[in-house]
Amino acid sequence: MTTLTEAPPPLAPAASEPKPQRRRGRWTPYWLLLPGILWLLVFFALPMIYQASTSVQTGSLEEGYKVTWHFATYWDALSEYWPQFLRSVAYAAAATVLCLVLGYPLAYLIAFRAGRWRNLIMILVIAPFFTSFLIRTLAWKTILADGGPVVGALNTLHVLDVTNWLGWTAGDRVLATPLAVVCGLTYNFLPFMILPLYTSLERIDGRLHEAAGDLYARPVTTFRKVTFPLSMPGVVSGTLLTFIPAAGDYVNAELLGSTDTRMIGNVIQTQFLRILDYPTAAALSFILMAAILLMVTFYIRGSGTEDLV
């Protein structure tokens, strides 16, 4: 008996192996980065290299300067102008603390309580940027003028008695004192504190506050345990954006201060534009940059926000 079996189906043609696709656009990110890299090279790296070479030169403006690798310029500059360095750090730190104390409540108000007024308050925060930095600083000479309403109110409240004891003012004057310089720094850099704080606070989920309330946490406890820790990235960013430019500022000390309130920025300006001692000015610039970089590094590590900044 013959058994009929079905013929096996014809084998399908072997599928052709996919050819490796050409990686298209792999150079696109590098081309997009090229303008920024060129900008940094031309306007940051090259000037830094030039200033580094200037700081180790010797000579005079008449004879010309030559690179002699005279690193003693750094020690001479630091040993002569260390009071201005310390004064710059102290003024910048005081202004940063004041900006944090004044800016945090306002940022909190904008993020959680402003409602429909949020946009208007934000416009008022950034409105000073539409005016020249120089004009804003000069306006404080009128605000803090002798015999003005501000000085009169401080005298009435006996605030000047405390500031005189601290050495921040002298007598009944506020202008040409450390207090005037710190006030100018605080006013000019306050928006740099408010904006990062507002951005950080706005990202906090409101349900976390509700959960803290459901767990019978008081508002102070909620702020201490929930709000402030979650806003630390904004605190760190705001303090850095305030302290770094304030430490190198010279306009406020020049217009609102006196010879006794000169900051290191004023010394660098004088060395560059008046005395024309370019090596000393370049050395002071590098010392200031290195000192700020060192302080910022320790600050970020101490605050535990390396991955958040």
pLDDT tens over the chain, length 309 residues: 445 555 555 555 555 555 555 555 688 888 899 999 999 999 999 999 999 999 999 988 888 889 899 999 999 999 999 999 999 999 999 999 999 999 999 999 999 988 889 999 999 999 988 989 999 999 999 999 888 888 889 888 888 888 888 888 888 889 999 999 999 999 999 999 999 999 999 999 888 888 988 888 888 899 999 999 999 999 999 999 999 999 999 999 999 999 899 999 999 999 999 988 999 999 999 999 999 999 988 888 887 665 544
52 domain residue, yes or no: no
For 151-162, letters b (16+ CB in 10 Å) and e give beebeeeeebee
31 domain residue, yes or no: no
**Per-residue confidence (pLDDT) for residue 268, from 0 to 100:** 94
265 domain residue, yes or no: yes
Residue 170's Cβ-count burial label (10 Å; 0-12, 13-18, 19+) is middle
**Per-residue confidence (pLDDT) for residue 133, from 0 to 100:** 92
Domain that holds residue 235: 86-303
**Per-residue confidence (pLDDT) for residue 9, from 0 to 100:** 58
Contact indicator for 169, 163 with CB cutoff of 8 Å:
yes
183 domain residue, yes or no: yes
For the four alpha carbons of 254, 242, 80 and 282, in that order, the dihedral sign comes to negative
**Per-residue confidence (pLDDT) for residue 303, from 0 to 100:** 75
10 domain residue, yes or no: no
**Per-residue confidence (pLDDT) for residue 5, from 0 to 100:** 53
79 domain residue, yes or no: no
**Per-residue confidence (pLDDT) for residue 12, from 0 to 100:** 55
Q: CATH no. for residue 148?
A: 1.10.3720.10
161 domain residue, yes or no: yes
Contact indicator for 70, 55 with CB cutoff of 8 Å:
no
Cα–Cα nearest to 281, from 304, 293, 265? 265
**Per-residue confidence (pLDDT) for residue 18, from 0 to 100:** 54
Q: How many CB atoms lie within 10 A of CB 7?
A: 5
**Per-residue confidence (pLDDT) for residue 97, from 0 to 100:** 97
**Per-residue confidence (pLDDT) for residue 24, from 0 to 100:** 57
68 domain residue, yes or no: no
Cα–Cα nearest to 232, from 295, 300, 298? 300
- Number of domains the chain is built from: 1
